[in-house]
Homo-oligomer: A and B are copies of this chain.
Amino acid sequence: MLKDFETKKREEKSSLNAEISELQSKLLGQQQLLMKAKLPVIVLIEGWSASGKGSLIKEFISELDPRFYHVESPKVLPESEERFPFLYQYVKSIPVNGKVTFLDSGWMENVVRKYLRHEITKDEYRHRIRQVNELERQLRDSGYVILKIFLHINKAVQYDRLFELVENPATEWRVDKDDLWQHKEYKRFMEAYDEFMDKTGDIAGWHVLDGSRHKTATRDALKLLVQRIDRAVQEGRYEGITSEEDFPLKEMPKLAEVDLSQSMDDEEYKKELKKLQNRINELHNIIYRKRIPVILCYEGWDAAGKGGNIRRLTYALDPRGFDVHPIAAPQPSEAARHYLWRFWTRLPKSGHICIFDRTWYGRVMVERLEGFCSEKEWRRAYHEINEFERMMTEWGAVLLKFWIHIDQDVQLERFTDRENTPEKQWKITDEDWRNREKWDEYEVVVDEMLEKTSTRNAPWYIIESNDKKYARIKTLRIIVKALEKACEKHFRRTME
């Protein structure tokens, strides 16, 4: 009897091993298919401490070509030490088309642990779950294949494994106090994991695997991935359509209605400029100490005066505390990822100011008009951008968006001036003239953009810039007001 039992077990084991090998070979073969289909894949592996996440990843990659995948093991920092939005590190690690990222725990562990530690409020917890769903949907809609696995072990198994690790001097360091705390709070974690999976299974479903049986879990995980890739390759790249959520919007005027006659005389300008720059300099100190992130976005017509406007601002700032990001056509590594990736990766650390000279709105302006993206893509973008900006303001960022506005006559004057002044010639290109010819088309898309993305938390400001001095002062005043409000709010929040 017992002998038969043993034989059967042995046979099972060797057949499991054979299955695993076969699946690993299949996965190896899929590399080329994925590359050809340019499909990016994210494998998120969540689960209990000591449930075998690392070992599972080892089996996933054991036959793969290192050019093809990347393993990330993001840490969960205490909320007080986080200098970026909590999704930042995960977004940063999304793969380029044709490649796979394995995440050794991710946004789930981050949200659940912080919530159980009382590092975030119930409200923040809810926001973050919504943000996770938004991120997953945005990735899926732009063609990302997402597989989510949860490795489950019960409390007794976890105890045995942690005990074994702790007992061995060579592996003792692998168990940290978070692991022990999780074990102690096993029940609370169980409920929280459950709730999280409940609320985040719509875009990409969760697969719970039995972490206490390593071989079986490996086989099942491999099978899930192989099947998922097979399906994705067969169906071709998924492209989502726009999803409608009503963001509360501020009403915007049409550009044609904007009165551009304002101006400012030189004396008042100089006085005001100095005053505002001094004030911004003071506020920069507070922003820095209070770790408030600031994101300033400049869009506008060619020659509207964005550069000069930005320089009047940066002159007031400590160069150690800000960055200007001029946005041009994306690099290959940027074009091969979700289009917001290159903005995510340029976000300021909390306490820093970053200035975007042109922004993610390129999607719904130049990329739309020049056909650099599909109609679905730019239609989807309004909503994705509103979500992205809400993530930023929920993170605590001050986010201001300026449309630097001039009329066609003034643009012509400035273009001509640039052409006639040797030191300014580099500023004017054939492309500027081509864009100018499309003024009317641009006006339509800009109006639509202003209408659809002027949310209450991140409204647009139209800056009348026929007179550059007026425009600079107006911009600086808006910045001062917003920074003052943020410093005050932050102050109140810490007082409560």
Q: Which residues of A are at the interface with B, using a C-beta cutoff of 8 A?
A: 25, 28-29, 31-32, 54, 57-58, 61-63, 65-67, 71, 73, 102, 104, 170-171, 173-174, 282, 285-286, 288-289, 307, 310-311, 314-315, 318-320, 323-326, 328, 331-333, 355, 357, 423, 426
Residue contacts A-B, CB under 8 angstroms, 21 given: A25-B423, A31-B426, A58-B315, A58-B318, A61-B314, A62-B311, A62-B314, A62-B315, A66-B310, A66-B314, A66-B324, A66-B325, A66-B326, A66-B355, A66-B357, A67-B326, A71-B319, A71-B320, A104-B319, A173-B285, A173-B289
Whether A318 lies near B54 (C-beta < 8 A) is: yes
Q: In the complex, what's the smallest C-beta–C-beta distance from A36 to chain B, in angstroms?
A: 10
Tell me whether A320 and B104 are in contact (CB under 8 A). Answer: yes
A interface SS class: helix
Contacts of A320 on B, CB cut-off 8 Å? 54, 71, 73, 104
Chain B residues with Cβ under 8 A from A423's Cβ?
A: 25, 28-29
Additional A-B contact list (10), CB under 8 Å, known A58-B315, A66-B324, A66-B355? A32-B426, A57-B319, A58-B318, A61-B314, A61-B319, A66-B326, A73-B319, A73-B320, A102-B319, A331-B331
Chain B residues whose C-beta falls within 8 Å of the C-beta of A323 in the assembled complex? 71
Cβ distance A286 to chain B, nearest Cβ, rounded Å: 7
Chain B minimum-CB-distance residue to A357:
B66
The answer to whether B63 touches A285 (Cβ under 8 A) is no
Partner of A170, one of B58, B286, B355: B286
Residue contact B326 to A285, C-beta cutoff 8 Å: no
Report the minimal beta-carbon distance from A472 to chain B, rounded to whole angstroms.
14
User: B residues within 8 A CB of A285?
Assistant: 170-171, 173-174
| A102, A288, A315 interface centre (most CB from chain B within 10 Å) | A315
Closest to A70 in B: B323
CA distance A357 to B326 in the complex (A): 34
- Chain B residue at minimum C-beta to C-beta distance from A32: B426
Min distance, Cβ A44 to any Cβ of chain B, angstroms: 14
Q: In whole angstroms, how far apart are the Cα atoms of A79 and B285 in the complex?
A: 28
Knowing A28-B423, A324-B66, the reply to whether A54 touches B319 (Cβ < 8 A) is yes
Number of copies: 2
**Complex: how many Å from CA A310 to CA B63?**
11
Residues of B contacting A326 with CB < 8 Å? 65-67
Q: How far is the CB of A191 from chain B (nearest CB, A)?
A: 28
Query: Given the complex, which residues of B lie within 8 Å of A67, measured CB to CB?
Result: 326, 328
Task: Choose one: B28, B318, B332; the contact of A331 (CB below 8 Å).
Answer: B332
Chain B neighbourhood of A62, CB < 8 A: 311, 314-315
Q: Give every chain B residue within 8 A of A319 (Cβ-Cβ).
A: 54, 57-58, 61, 71, 73, 102, 104
Q: Tell me how far the C-beta of A254 lies from the nearest C-beta in chain B, rounded to whole angstroms.
A: 31
Chain B: minimal CB distance from A281 (Å): 9
Closest 8 CB pairs of A and B: A66-B324, A73-B320, A67-B326, A71-B319, A57-B319, A32-B426, A170-B285, A173-B289
Q: Are B28 and A311 in contact, CB atoms less than 8 angstroms apart? A: no
CA distance A31 to B57 in the complex (A): 48
Residue on B with the closest CB to A282? B170
Bound form: Cα–Cα A102–B28 in Å: 46
A325 contact set on B, CB distance < 8 A: 66
Residue numbers in B under 8 Å from A65 (CB-CB): 307, 326
Docked complex Cα distance between A285 and B169 (Å):
10
Q: Give A63 to B29 CA distance when docked, in angstroms.
A: 55
Nearest B residue to A422 by beta-carbon distance? B29
Distance of A435 from chain B, by nearest CB (Å): 18
Q: How far is the CA of A488 from the CA of B377 in the complex (A)?
A: 57
Return the chain B residue nearest A66 by Cβ. B324
A6 to chain B, nearest CB (A): 23
Residues of B within 8 A of A314 (CB): 61-62, 66
Q: What CA separation (Å) do A25 and B32 show in the bound complex?
A: 54
Task: For the complex, give the distance between the alpha carbons of A65 and B357 in Å.
Answer: 11
Residues in B with CB closer than 8 Å to A318 are: 54, 58
| Cβ contacts under 8 Å, A57 to chain B | 319
Nearest Cβ in chain B — how far from A217, in angstroms? Answer: 16
A172 to chain B, nearest CB (A): 9
How far apart are the CA atoms of A104 and B318 in the complex, in Å?
Answer: 11
CA distance A311 to B32 in the complex (A): 18
Within the assembled complex, what's the spacing in Å between the Cα atoms of A307 and B173? 31
Chain B residues within 8 Å of A310, by CB: 66
- How close is A75's CB to chain B, nearest CB, in angstroms? 10
Min CB–CB distance A56 → chain B (angstroms): 9
Chain B residues positioned under 8 Å from A102 (CB to CB): 319
Closest to A283 in B: B170
